[in-house]
Amino acid sequence: MDLISRIGQHFADSAQTKLDAVELLSPLIAQAAETMVASLVGNGKVLACGNGGSAADAQHFAAELVGRFEVERQGLAAIALTTDTSIMTAVGNDYGYNTIFERQVRALGQSGDVLLAISTSGNSPSIIEAINAAHENDLRVVALTGKGGGKMGAMLRDGDIHLCVPSSRTARIQEVHLLTIHCLCDAIDCLLLGVE
């Protein structure tokens, strides 16, 4: 396959994965947005975490809420747990990498908050520990996964929302995660502001 055809195939595969996910994820994204809005209007916040590309997605989501997405509004309470290198390296050094988000969820999370937990495989130990901490502290969990959901999918509880991309390719899962984040931001604005 020549390079141009290979690139074209990436575009086609990305578009097809998104189309495959529409019916499955749309109602769950709406439910996740409603859950987040209920927390935000109740003086709660959204904590977001992920590793690697998923860390970037967590930061992107928090930036859209604290700043703005497409319409002007008040900043919304969201924290990316991936951004404080002093906390992450201190906790990782003293307690192990798997606790870098769990410790922050325990310190910052309160009943009624929401944890946005992102892992393409659903098997990231640091995200699993964050979900355990969220459950123990009465936070709702919105999980963004792929590859069947992995261990995260199996540990979610009633009231949690599982947005599992129907793909086994990491790049395609990440592309749908980004679209999902944009859909969440738009839906949150729609619910809060009545945006048409």
**Binding site, annotated residues for Zn(2+):** 60, 64, 174, 182
pLDDT digits (tens, 9 = 90+) for 42-53: 999 999 999 999
Confidence bin at 194 (pLDDT 50/70/90): confident
Q: Could you tell me which CATH number the domain at 3-193 has?
A: 3.40.50.10490
Mean pLDDT of the chain, nearest integer = 97
**Binding site, annotated residues for substrate:** 51-53, 64, 93-94, 119-121, 124, 174
Quote the CA–CA distance of 53 and 147 in Å, as a whole number.
16
Kindly list the domain boundaries of the chain, sorted by start residue. Answer: 3-193
Amino acid at 101: F
**Binding site, annotated residues:** 51-53, 60, 64, 93-94, 119-121, 124, 174, 182
Which pLDDT belongs to residue 22?
Answer: 97
Which pLDDT belongs to residue 74?
Answer: 96
Which pLDDT belongs to residue 81?
Answer: 98
- Residues making up the chain, counted from first to last: 196
Which pLDDT belongs to residue 1?
Answer: 67
